[in-house]
Amino acid sequence: MNISIIPSLVLVGLLAAAAVQAGTVDDLLAEYQSKGVGSFDASAGEVLWQQRFPSSDGVERACTSCHTSDLRQKGRHAVTGKTMEPLAPSVNAKRFSKRRQIEKWFKRNCKWTLGRECTAQEKGDLLSFLRKQ
């Protein structure tokens, strides 16, 4: 294969991944909006991301408990210690590309962190913040 074509192919691949990501996130945001939410606010998402919530075991919980405060770095599961890949789509193109995964983790992690499911407004705000990282 002509070597000069490889960078172009890589670029096409990255653009395609970004397009899938944008499509999935846009679709989900539209769906949340259809539930009666006016608009989404990335800065409100960031505040929620940092917010600490009380828990039954006495140790406050936040999204950053596992994902850390730098989304471009690897995270660490607060209980098991297992390493997790970075959440920022700028360094991990797989993030936010599958609707089922996004919904699965919102459900699990909102329940663990906040003690309840997140509302459509909260999920939209969080996605708006996270997609820009």
Partner 1 sequence: MKKTLISLLVVTGVGISAVGLVAGERGERHHNEDHERHEHGSSAAYRSDPQYDLYKSECGDCHMAYPPSMLPVASWQGMMTVLDDHFGDNAELDVATAKEVTAFLGRNAAGEGSGEYGERSWRATQGLAPPLRITETDYFRGQHHEIPDKMVTGNPDVGSLSRCESCHREAELGNFDEHGVRIPGYGRWDD
Single residue of 60, 111, 119, 132 touching partner 1 by CB under 8 A: 111
Q: How far apart are CA 40 and CA 122, in angstroms?
A: 8
In DSSP notation, 1-32 reads --TTHHHHHHHHHHHHHHHHHHHHHHHHHHHH
Binding part of the chain for partner 1, among 21-29, 35-43, 77-85, 123-131 by CB under 8 A, reads 77-85
Tokens 């944008």, located at residue: 22
Give the pair of three-digit tokens for residue 132.
């820009």
CB of 95 to partner 1, least distance (A): 13
Single residue of 12, 16, 19, 84 touching partner 1 by CB under 8 A: 84
Binding site for partner 1 (CB under 8 A): 57, 77, 79-82, 84, 100, 104, 107-109, 111-112
